[in-house]
């Protein structure tokens, strides 16, 4: 299991690049995606909907929907959340800017960040080759 974190400001193009990597490497490798949302911006189901009320009780709950199985659990630590995907080839992280994970930097960032292993220069193909090498420990 390899872990890599995408860092970059809002609208720097992180999501588009992650989509590109999942689309192009996801058939060959088992790729998981984990987003950190420490301020709780994400909205789960419609606010005040029946399911949102039950989910807020914070027990183990799930929705088996047409296209997705969604499971809601109590918050985990970052390590526990990552360990959940231990059988995957690669976990792509987003939103863990100040943690020590190896990072791919997207766009300009006006602050020093630890452990940047790739500075994206706009060449998607080259990034894909880098990530594939990273998965394979090259």
| Site residues for a copy of itself per CB under 8 A | 14-15, 18-19, 22-23, 26, 30-46, 49-51, 53-76, 78, 81, 84-85, 88
Residue 86 and residue 72 in contact, taking contact as beta carbons nearer than 8 Å: no
Q: How many CA atoms lie within 13 A of 68 on its CB side?
A: 6
Please state, in angstroms and rounded to a whole number, the distance separating the CA atoms of residues 32 and 21.
Answer: 11
In whole angstroms, how close is the CB of 25 to a copy of itself at the nearest point?
A: 10
Pairing of strands 2-7, 90-94: parallel
Shortest separation between residue 56's beta carbon and a copy of itself, angstroms: 8
Closest approach of a copy of itself to the CB of residue 137, in Å: 21
User: Reduced to 3 states, what is the DSSP secondary structure of residue 108?
Assistant: coil
> In terms of CB distance, is 14 or 103 closer to a copy of itself?
14
**For a copy of itself, the closer CB: 72 or 103:** 72
């Amino acid at each position: 299991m390899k872990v890599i974190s995408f860092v970059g400001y809002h609208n720097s193009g992180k999501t588009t690049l992650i989509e590109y990597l999942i689309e192009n490497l996801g058939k060959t490798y088992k790729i998981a995606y984990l987003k950190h949302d420490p301020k709780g911006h994400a909205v789960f189901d419609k606010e005040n909907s029946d399911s949102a009320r039950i989910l807020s009780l914070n027990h183990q709950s799930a929705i088996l929907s047409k296209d997705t199985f969604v499971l809601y659990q109590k918050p985990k630590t970052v390590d526990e959340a990552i360990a959940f995907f231990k059988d995957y080839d690669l976990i792509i992280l987003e939103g863990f800017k100040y943690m020590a994970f190896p990072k791919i930097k997207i766009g300009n960032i006006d602050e020093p960040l630890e452990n940047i292993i790739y500075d994206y220069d706009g060449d998607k193909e080259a990034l894909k080759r880098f990530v594939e090498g990273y998965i394979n420990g090259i």
